[in-house]
Structure 1
Amino acid sequence: MTDSPAVPPAADPAATRPATDAVAAADRALKTKHRAVWASGDYPTLASELIWTLGPVVVDSVDVQPGDRVLDVAAGSGNAAIPAALRGGTVVASDLTPELFDVGRRRAHEAGVELEWREADAEALPFENAAFDAVVSCVGVMFAPHHRQAAGELLRVTRPGGRIGLLSWTPDGFIGQMFTTMKPYAAPLPEGAEPAPLWGDEGHVRELLGDDVDEVSARRESVTIDRFASPEAFRDYFKQNYGPTIAVYGRIADEPDQVRALDDALVELARSHGLRAAGDTMRWEYLLVTARRT
């Protein structure tokens, strides 16, 4: 008779708790930082002036019908949530940064619709399984740092047969290239975090959603931007209004050579995408992915 294999002793919960607590504390600190980034500047104005038309694009893509339960993840001030409500959906607009909700509430009131505004982390949504007929995000969930966690939550809260619609900036498009331009001046990504523009890569999104969806459609399109009179005007607008740009400049504020280099790089980026003078337009590429929850 052979000896039984040795059975390792049960893990001591107290021994693993410090590591678990440290991970949880680091995640809370990261989310606090993200909230502060998006609360800085004036994202609602930027969203309204530049990309408000993208909300209806993602809402139309999942064909929101009257009475549908709709969740807008990382909703900001309601680019997609308000159009979904205008189509008759029962809508929840969720975001990690509730400072953006006041503008959203005002715009919803002006549009004559009511919806629920809910503070929520895209990586830990406070909703029951299969709670929604349609789940959408318009250049929002892409900024959650842990892509697989966020995708898992999108899938979890969508009912079987429900629709998912995601609109994200592509890595090769203008905004993706803007993040590439800012990267040398930005803080390194935390361990386990992935670059936001990966959500604009079809293969990456298909991998994230996996076998939990079918009827997947992905197409690249672009929004036309004619807001800026010069490359310098673009740069200064983003320095004033866009949280991620504000954060990068804040990090190098005490290094004037770095500030000048980033100033020049953003101006050159805008020039390379066709902006040279008033009347010029740029085209900012995005990926629109739709899928049905199996």
Structure 2
Amino acid sequence: MTASTESSTTLSPDMLGLKAKLKATWESGDYGVFAKYLEPGALTFLTGLKLTPGERYLDLACGAGQLVIPAARAGVEATGLDLAANLIAQARHRAAQESLNARFDEGDAEALPYPDARFDVVSSLFGVMFAPRPERIAAELLRVTRPGGRIVLGNWTPQSFIGGMFRVTGKHAPPSPLMPSPMLWGDEATVRERLGTGVRDVTFGRVAYPFEYPFDPAGVVEFYREFYGPTNRAFASLDTAAQAALRADLEAHWAEHNCSAQGTRLESELLIVRATRA
């Protein structure tokens, strides 16, 4: 098999519509700008992958290359895939500026364009958890990882700060009924069930992922509205009064958890999943 055999012709019209909406969502705002404040936690996650030069590494939902670019700098054979064409363009530009041997592909993590057992390490940092069909994500993770290779995921837990932020947003702009909660990827029993017998030596760890911004909670909400696709699209779907209500609730959520008198600083719980491909 040279790639996923799934075709768009096998998808229902409703699922095709949802996928188009998700692509538009992640192409909204500018995740490349948004992710700059997330870099410290992302680099900690990358260090935890313990990649070695020459390893074949795939990062799914790679954004503008926050993990792939530094991995390529370290001599890893690094590939990134993302649904958003604009982010892949940014990532390719960054790699070209540094003359890095990094590959970036626009594509769907539920139907990967890679051969079976292609990669030594496959990761996703709060990325594939937002795909609409977790069973397809699990199947593709297993398919493209070589036997004995490693799968590492960083997923927000249901009780995390970010889990709470999505619940706040969902009260004002409900998600599609076709979309299972992304936070289920942060539940250990659910992850074990999804990966099933395709993996061995599954371990879980919980870490506090840092968020730090030089502006107050109101400024953070505005930053998310401008640059973070899901928040950007949630606001755009509402009328003026409903936008004001969403803004007030999001500002209250950030203010409640803020630990800084100057700017905004807090942590959100992340479930780190590590598994070996059977």
Task: Tell me the TM-score normalized by structure 2.
Answer: 0.90
Q: Deviations over 1:165-214 (max 9, x none)?
A: 111222211111100001112243233x3111221222221221112111
CA distance in 2, matches of 1:211, 1:47: 34
Task: Give the 3-state SS of the residue equivalent to 1:288 in structure 2.
Answer: strand
User: Which one-letter code corresponds to 1:94 in the other structure?
Assistant: L
Note if 1:199 corresponds to 2:185: yes
Note if 1:130 corresponds to 2:117: yes
- Cα distance, 1:112 vs structure 2: 4.9
Which of 5, 19, 23 is the matching residue for 1:35? 23
Change (3 A) 1:240 1:292: same
Instruction: Judge conservation of contact 2:158–2:164 (CA < 8 Å) in 1.
Output: yes
Q: Deviations over 1:86-118 (max 9, x none)?
A: 232211111111210222123334555221111
Aligned to 1:235: 221
User: Which one-letter code corresponds to 2:72 in the other structure?
Assistant: A
Instruction: Judge conservation of contact 1:59–1:136 (CA < 8 Å) in 2.
Output: no
Q: Alignment RMSD, CA only?
A: 2.0
Which of 42, 45, 48 is the matching residue for 2:33? 45
Instruction: Judge conservation of contact 2:117–2:145 (CA < 8 Å) in 1.
Output: yes
Q: Deviations over 1:12-46 (max 9, x none)?
A: xxxxxxxx968433332222111111111111111
Which of 258, 268, 278 is the matching residue for 2:242? 258
CA distance in 2, matches of 1:291, 1:261: 42
Task: Give the 3-state SS of the residue equivalent to 1:94 in structure 2.
Answer: strand
Using the TM superposition, name which of 271-280 and 181-190 deviates more: 271-280
Using the TM superposition, name which of 276-285 and 121-130 deviates more: 276-285
User: Which one-letter code corresponds to 1:221 in the other structure?
Assistant: V
Aligned to 1:72: 59
Aligned to 2:235: 249
Instruction: Judge conservation of contact 1:231–1:277 (CA < 8 Å) in 2.
Output: no
- Cα distance, 1:275 vs structure 2: 5.0
The alignment-based identity, stated in percent, is 38
Aligned to 1:218: 204
Task: Give the 3-state SS of the residue equivalent to 1:52 in structure 2.
Answer: helix
- Cα distance, 1:65 vs structure 2: 1.4
Change (3 A) 1:280 1:179: closer
Instruction: Judge conservation of contact 2:217–2:263 (CA < 8 Å) in 1.
Output: no
Unaligned runs of 5+ in 2: 1-7
Instruction: Judge conservation of contact 1:229–1:279 (CA < 8 Å) in 2.
Output: yes
Task: Give the 3-state SS of the residue equivalent to 2:12 in structure 1.
Answer: helix
User: Which one-letter code corresponds to 2:33 in the other structure?
Assistant: T
CA distance in 1, matches of 2:103, 2:9: 32
CA distance in 2, matches of 1:106, 1:275: 36
Aligned length: 271
Instruction: Judge conservation of contact 2:41–2:210 (CA < 8 Å) in 1.
Output: no
Aligned to 1:3: none
Task: Tell me the TM-score normalized by structure 1.
Answer: 0.86
Task: Give the 3-state SS of the residue equivalent to 1:142 in structure 2.
Answer: helix
Instruction: Judge conservation of contact 1:92–1:116 (CA < 8 Å) in 2.
Output: yes
Task: Give the 3-state SS of the residue equivalent to 2:146 in structure 1.
Answer: strand
Q: Deviations over 1:46-94 (max 9, x none)?
A: 112x212333333333321111111111111112212322232211111
Note if 1:287 corresponds to 2:266: no
CA distance in 1, matches of 2:87, 2:263: 31
CA distance in 1, matches of 2:12, 2:45: 33
Task: Give the 3-state SS of the residue equivalent to 2:20 in structure 1.
Answer: helix
